[in-house]
Amino acid sequence: MKFRRKPAGVVRSAISEGTLDLEEACLRSLSVANGPLKFTLTSPYMLTRTLLDNHYHDFEALTMAIADSLAEQVRNLPCACLQIDEANVPGSPEGGPIAQRAINRILNAFPGKKPSFLLWKLRRTDHPERGMAAAGGILNGIKADHLVLELAHPPDSEIEALLDIKADLGIGVIDIKVNHVETPEEVACRIEKVVRKTGPGRVKWVHPDCGFWMLKRSIADRKLDALVRGRDTFLGI
């Protein structure tokens, strides 16, 4: 987080829920949804890395305090699925055990009957200690029903390492960092590449790598259309 000019917040006393009201935010989202809703939170580990801690003076203690507050908030969420976004651990694998414990504390509190999700961003890297193989133990210890992975441009070694992941897979097949709109054939090939390696039945979902906030709405809409048509091409429908 050294790119920040200042911290996102300063912790001066014990973490509490304060004015946070995730249930109200979830209900507001449900009011405009046309089907089952997936609600998303940021991982406590990812949040802690943005804060200046003038109270706990202990990274793990602050992380778990945030996890406890979020766990209380998710107990009554009316969503079908809960996703916890964690994008920092792939670049800082030493933080994996703390992130795992914090994420599990939230997932254990969520009563949803449908899958819980974890977003795991993989970035192309020449550093094997930051790849999927190094993260396998961390990912397998997270109590999510399946993992949502960023896989639009994975090195072959990352796909190979998916064999060691126990959970079902959701794979990113749309690049959200470029204006190029994928063809259905490109999307189908990306799905096929992972399915061929991991075997039938492992890939349960296909999706964009992450959010579309960097792209114009017209491009995002076309990319989503390509996602659906590419899935159908892969399935032969």
Sign of the torsion angle spanned by Cα atoms 208, 214, 217, 219:
negative
- If you ran DSSP here, which 8-state letter would residue 93 be given? G
Give CA–CA dist 87/62, Å, rounded: 18
Task: Domain ranges for the chain, please list them.
Answer: 9-235
Give the CATH number of domain 9-235; options: 3.40.1160.10, 3.40.50.720, 3.90.10.10, 3.20.20.210: 3.20.20.210
* Beta carbons of 46 and 87 less than 8 angstroms apart: yes
- Pick the range with the lowest mean pLDDT from 1-10, 46-55, 173-182, 197-206: 1-10
Q: Give pLDDT tens digits for 41-69.
A: 999 999 999 999 999 999 999 999 999 99
pLDDT digits (tens, 9 = 90+) for 66-118: 999 999 999 999 999 899 998 888 777 788 899 999 999 999 999 876 556 66
Distance CA 36, CA 128 (A): 38
Query: pLDDT tens for residues 11-45?
Result: 999 999 999 999 999 999 999 999 999 999 999 99
The answer to whether 159 and 194 are in contact (CB under 8 A) is yes
Taking only the tens place, the pLDDT of each residue in 136-181 is 678 888 888 888 888 888 777 778 888 888 888 999 999 999 999 9
Closest CA to 138 of 183, 92, 185: 92
pLDDT bucket at 188, cuts 50 / 70 / 90: very high
Helix (H) or strand (E) holding 61: helix 59-74
- What stretches of the chain adopt beta strand conformation (E)? 9-11, 38-42, 51-53, 81-86, 116-120, 146-149, 168-174, 203-208
* Backbone torsions φ then ψ of 199, nearest 5 degrees: 95, 160
